[in-house]
Amino acid sequence: MDVLLKHTSLSCAQYHPGDSIGKLLAYVSLCPVLLLCYQSSKVYTRREVHEAVLLAGLVLQEAAARALKHLLKHPRPATCTILNLCHSHGMPSSHTSMMFAYLAVSSCIALQLRRQRGTASRLLAAAEQLALAAAGVGVACSRVYLGYHSSDQVLAGALLGSVFGVAWFGVLRMLAPLYGLLASWRLLQQLGAKDTWGVGEPLAVEQAAFTDSSYKAKMA
């Protein structure tokens, strides 16, 4: 008896055999998954409260994009037959919206901190934003090229993500007074949570602390 298998919609991208460009773009289209993994690992390793709030925003953005798909019920392009996705809806592209949401919120944070950073840090931040922009455009193009979305669905995703990212930056700023309070909670203190919102170069601050002789003597 033949069984029709299903695949996860977030981490599976199909392309035509022998299509080298399609194969490359199939990998590019996985950037939103890598982005969520990156932000999750950042929360775990850095333990910065605002990074956890940013991660929550990305999850909320994904939920909003999926809810809009069910609400608008906009059909995918005709290529959905080959992809076996005609049962689902395509407006907006949630992959594209995820990328542009992160690009928008991280760009706002970089602009806020630009005067508190040194030249090297500013250049690195600019390079990161350019890389994110290139990845966002790449994901958008991949979703159209591979037949998952039409161009208007991808544009809608980019617009949704950009607006949501700027709005979530406003939420991050609004919640800023609470980060120190949350980091001072006993459980979060034991987990190493810290409030670095508004600090231009937290790694430099930590480096200075670790190289300070009195700090080393205290930890000995």
Which tens digits make up the pLDDT trace of 127-148? 999 999 999 999 999 999 999 8
Question: Global pTM?
Answer: 0.89
What is the spatial distance between Cα 164 and Cα 127, in angstroms, rounded to a whole number?
22
Cβ neighbors of 178 (< 8 A, separation 6 or more) are none
pLDDT band at 1 (very low <50, low <70, confident <90, very high): very low
Mean pLDDT of 43-63: 95
Among 49, 40, 50, which Cα is nearest to 193's?
Answer: 49
Render pLDDT for 154-175 as a digit per residue (tens, 0 to 9). Answer: 999 999 999 999 999 999 999 9
Phi-psi region of 73 (alpha: psi -120 to 50; beta: other; left: phi over 0): left
Q: What pLDDT sits at residue 218?
A: 58
What is the distance between the alpha carbons of residues 155 and 101, in angstroms, rounded to a whole number? 13
Beta bridge partners of 89: 75
What local confidence, expressed as pLDDT, does residue 208 receive? 77
Mean per-residue pLDDT of the chain: 89
Mean pLDDT of 39-60: 96
Look up residue 133 and give its two tokens: 């922009």
**Is residue 40 pLDDT above 50, yes or no?**
yes
pLDDT at 117: 87
For the chain, the residue count is 220
Q: What is the distance between the alpha carbons of residues 87 and 96, in angstroms, rounded to a whole number?
A: 20
| Matching residue, tokens 């999926």 | 66
CB 55 within 8 A of CB 40: yes
> Is residue 2 pLDDT above 70, yes or no?
no
Amino acid at 128: E
